[in-house]
Chain A
Amino acid sequence: MMLNMGPQHPSTHGVFRLVLWLEGERIVRAEPHIGYLHRGSEKLCEREDYTQIITLFDRLDYVANLNCELAFCMAAEKLMALEVPERAWYIRTILCELNRIASHMLFYGVYGLDVGAMTPVLYGFRERERVILLFEAVTGARMMHNYIRVGGVKEDLPDDFGKRMTVLIDELKRGIDECDALLTNSELFLERTKGVGTIDGPTAVDYGVTGPMLRAAGVKEDVRISEPYGIYDRFDFGIPVGTHGDCWDRYYVRVEEMRQSLSIIEQAMSQMEAGPITAKVRRIARPPRGEAYLRTESPRGDFGVFLVSDGGDKPYRVKVRAPSFANLQSITHLLRDAYIADAVVILGSTDIILGEVDR
């Protein structure tokens, strides 16, 4: 039987379409179809100037907006050889790590729904809401922040930021532990995720899988550590690495990553000092002729931006290396011999964002 899953199916995490050929409840063949959310973002970038493009990057990975903004701004800064002030880097790092937590919390909740538990989603969203309220205080928007700018950030942190962060870090710590206790070791959850959708390290590398998915497969790779950017080389943190590369490992790698992000945030908060928040940049940035490629670690993996400038105020070409897109490639491998119910769990464990896949 051929079963068409999506683009309107509730658990394809957006508008992803999966055509499944079934033998009873088992999947014999799976064919992913993407492109339902294609907006031509990369092409649109060619006719916007550098400040405007940031808003387009907000809408790529729309649950980790700041991480996308950061990648683009860093690429432009690399072209312009800009020196970004210390404080701006700390602000960027803190907010991006917070965004990683918010993104993983969303994953946690939705993953609960995927395996059929209805409570985790509300706990996950509760924690995410805390982060988003802070974002609103800092950037003025809950999601599409447009906050990180070429050369720095838009404006300085609000006065009560330190106070809010102390509370938030405590709350998040408790929240992550609570979420962990709610789902991780549930017998039924283990049953649904252990040994499901396994991928080994070399295969994952072959598929170009990055981020938590790759680490769950046992590969110790994280751009923040292997090619540290910004001020990441100053922090003492860890990367969670799985052993089996199954759904449970992918899930738990993300839970542990939230804890590590919190530790980075704590260290950054203690190191941050007052100072300028943006480098001296002309109002309309005109990077010199040339090209730059830049990798960052977004919550979904290795988020790369390739930027070509012809010296004008608009880039000549922007290409995004979206981790979701590469991670999604492995879905046919992961779905081999799975059940329909597994298809949902496996797709959930890749944690794709269609805005980033289709661009």
Chain B
Amino acid sequence: MTALEVLYYALGAVGLLVFLSMTVMALTWLERKTLARIQQRMGPMRVGPHGTLQPIADVLKLMSKEDITPSSADKRLFWLAPVAFFLPALLLWVTIPLSRDLVLRNMDMGLFYIVAISVLSVAGLALAGWSSANKYALLGGLRAVGALISYEIPFILAVLGVGMLAQSLDLTQVVDGQQNFAYILIQPLGLFIFLAAGLAELGRTPFDIHHAESEVVGGPFVEYSGAHWAVFMLAEYVNTFTIAALTVLLFLGGWRWPAMPLDGVGHTILSLAWFLAKTYLVILVIFWIRGTFPRLRIDQLMSFSWKVLVPLSFANILFTGIVLYYDLGRWVLTILSLLSLAAAFYLVFNKYGNLKKRNTVRVYSVRELGLKPAAKPPPPDAPSDGDPPPQGAPGHQPAS
């Protein structure tokens, strides 16, 4: 490596770090605002106009907080865990292109690299869970490992389906492969699997069992505070951004405009803007899901992966293979995809039957119970003289 290359990579790494940190700050603000909108409240409003400077205030607060290490914690692992969680999140971005030219290092096996590196981050969660010397953290860490291992398979298979269509694992070529039709039109099933598995790997609602504030109280992060906790959060948001970016690259046509008006620098800037716009759209969907759904239980999470997503992703691969081998029209794949999606949705939604079947609560009216039919209201006039109105008040009976 020449000195120039070293400089290039060093600058690139710093640039990436800055870009991702800014993105994360934007994401925290965006998430709070989106959730607030869903929940009929304002969200942060105090720091800066509409709370736009809130992320900076948050960072300052987290940095100035005392960094507590539990006395019974395994200190070295406890310090290592945030790094082990953050590094893979950062490493992924080495090969994720923001547009054709804006990429640190494009790889022929880019998708393979991404799949391989993304698994590593779970080590950080497991370490955090183990080293905290806290049972909730341990449970959370183990849940994270379990969920990640189960969802890695559909995740990889969904990526593989795209690789088959593009005939390449190079992300730039995958985007180029979507010149005519974005892969969402050809493989809607793949997109569904990818997003579901992606959410599970992120640990986001409805798959956020390893955070699960109401059960394991924040899971692996329960003992972390201050800057260390901030590193975890940073990594979580980077991962969210990664999954959204990958969704755009793999299924939504990446940075491709329908018709590209400019070339040169203008082209790069426009593609970047287009790519980011799509990515934020996906992120909004992820936030929307967070604001809407309850959380699954761990066994349901597992069975959803193994009984629904894994068979679906195998079907996806099979359909793609058949269509490619016999060189059928891509629309065949679209139809097959949609059909299997519909079948899966039907099976899932049919579990509890229609609305009538679900409602096991019946209202018995007073008359129906035959206990006491509604008595007449009291005589409207002369409430004070004569007999007292028919009052059910127990005041009538003398105390025994």
Contacts and interface: CB of A to CB of B under 8 A. Distances in A.
B212 A78 contact: no
Interface string A209-240: 00000001000100001101111111111111
Given A241-B361, A248-B360, A291-B400, 14 more contacts: A74-B393, A82-B395, A83-B388, A112-B294, A115-B214, A186-B293, A186-B294, A191-B297, A192-B294, A225-B371, A236-B365, A240-B361, A240-B364, A287-B399
B372 A233 contact: yes
B375 A233 contact: yes
20 contacts: A83-B395, A122-B40, A188-B293, A190-B351, A190-B352, A191-B297, A191-B300, A225-B366, A229-B392, A231-B392, A236-B367, A239-B363, A273-B380, A288-B399, A290-B400, A291-B399, A292-B399, A339-B299, A341-B209, A344-B214
Interface of B: 35, 38-41, 135-136, 139, 143, 205-206, 208-209, 212-217, 290-300, 348-349, 351-352, 355, 358-369, 371-372, 374-378, 380, 383, 388-389, 391-400
A325 interface: no
Contacts of A235: 366, 374
The 8 lowest CB-CB distance pairs between A and B, nearest first, are A116-B295, A238-B365, A290-B399, A117-B294, A238-B363, A115-B294, A122-B39, A11-B214
A112 B295 CA distance: 10
Contact of B292 (A117, A244, A271): A117
Given A123-B40, A187-B349, A77 B395 contact: yes
Contacts of B378: 86, 234, 271
Contacts of A69: none
Interface in A283-300: 287-288, 290-292, 294
Nearest to A309: B399
A126 interface: yes
A239 B371 CA distance: 12
A116 B206 contact: yes
A114 interface: yes
B214 A192 contact: no
Contact of B294 (A84, A116, A230, A294): A116
A234 B393 CA distance: 12
Given A78-B395, A126-B40, A116 B205 contact: yes
A3 interface: yes
Contacts of A275: 383
Interface of A: 1, 3-4, 9-11, 25, 74, 77-84, 86, 89, 112-119, 122-123, 126, 183, 185-192, 194, 216, 220, 225-226, 228-244, 248-249, 252-253, 256, 260, 271, 273, 275, 287-288, 290-292, 294, 339-344
A192 B371 contact: no
Contacts of B369: 220, 225, 239
B133 to A, nearest CB: 13
Contacts of A116: 205-206, 208, 212, 214, 293-295
B398 to A, nearest CB: 5
A232 B348 CA distance: 44
A82 B205 CA distance: 56
B204 to A, nearest CB: 11
A1 B216 CA distance: 14
A341 B212 contact: yes
Given A116-B206, A116-B214, A216-B361, A233 B135 contact: no
A242 B298 CA distance: 27
Nearest to B138: A1
Given A185-B355, A236-B366, A89 B393 contact: yes
Contact of A114 (B214, B352, B380, B397): B214
A79 B399 CA distance: 5
Given A233-B372, A341-B297, A342-B297, A228 B361 contact: no
A234 B377 contact: yes
Given A122-B40, A233-B374, A236-B367, A84 B393 contact: yes
Nearest to A239: B364
A294 B394 contact: yes
A168 to B, nearest CB: 18
Contacts of B371: 225-226
B135 A1 contact: yes
Given A84-B395, A240-B361, A119 B39 contact: yes
A92 to B, nearest CB: 10
Given A188-B296, A220-B369, A237-B365, A118 B291 contact: yes
A231 B298 CA distance: 49
A342 B214 CA distance: 11
A234 B355 contact: no
B292 A230 contact: no
Contacts of A252: 359-361
Contacts of A292: 399-400
A282 to B, nearest CB: 16
A81 B363 contact: no
Contacts of B351: 187, 190-191
B296 A191 contact: yes
A251 to B, nearest CB: 9
B294 A341 contact: no
A252 B358 CA distance: 11
Contacts of A118: 35, 39, 205, 290-291
A57 B375 CA distance: 31
A83 B398 CA distance: 11
B61 to A, nearest CB: 21
A183 B291 CA distance: 12
